[in-house]
Structure 1
Amino acid sequence: MSLQVLLVCGTGASSGFMAVSMRKVAKKKGLDYQIKARSESELENYLAETDVIMIGPHLSFMEAEIKQLVTGTDKKVILMNSDYYATLDGEKALDHLQSVLD
């Protein structure tokens, strides 16, 4: 079964580039991950079909609110690190994701 990952940022632009980077790495590693990017305003429209929500570091103030949205589900919420987010390092982002899943 494929893992549904949603990257969330302000407008969806920077997370869009990060999603592309992460998809390339996931494909290379043979991981069945569906990685999409959306703006924070669209988050609730995609919650039902999402397993993991990764939040852009500039939205750290929303982390508690998003965790509350998924309370009672097995969905994971991960705050991305600004070191790999700023450089759009998909490999480090994927490593972070997998460390939380393990």
Structure 2
Amino acid sequence: MKFKNVLLVCGTGASSGFMAKNIRVAAKEKGYDISVKARGDAEVEDFIEEIDLLLVGPHLQYMLNDLEGIANPYHVPVKIIPKDAYGSLDGVAVLEFMEEIE
């Protein structure tokens, strides 16, 4: 797995907490050693120097440009989690999505 430190954000961090847990379970099953933290969107700047991927809940699509503005100076990719995977809290699907990011 290319990404070792992932931050997953949603509005308040609540739903992303469940999603992050499911991603960690899926990663463990594949033998990946990664850290996935869930936080609210207001906390991105507090963690941006510690991460190598920023995953964003699909309901925050409207914030993409702002989040990229924060992440780009640190060379951190910002990706919107696929709606179906996020809605079903499918950690396996999100992990597969992460594997496809270059």
TM-score by length of 1: 0.93
**1:76 counterpart letter in structure 2:** P
**2:52 counterpart letter in structure 1:** D
Structure 1: distance between partners of 2:74 and 2:44: 16
Give 5+ residue unaligned stretches, structure 2.
Answer: none
The corresponding residue for 2:80 is: 79
The corresponding residue for 2:15 is: 14
**3-state DSSP class of the match of 1:84?**
helix
List structure 1 runs of 4+ shifted beyond 4 angstroms.
none
**3-state DSSP class of the match of 1:31?**
coil
Give 5+ residue unaligned stretches, structure 1.
Answer: none
RMSD: 1.4
Structure 1: distance between partners of 2:71 and 2:91: 25
The superposition leaves residues 46-93 of structure 1 with CA deviations (integer Å, 9 ceiling, x where unpaired) of 111011000000000011111111223321111011101000000000
TM-score by length of 2: 0.93
Identity of aligned residues (%): 40
Number of aligned residue pairs: 101
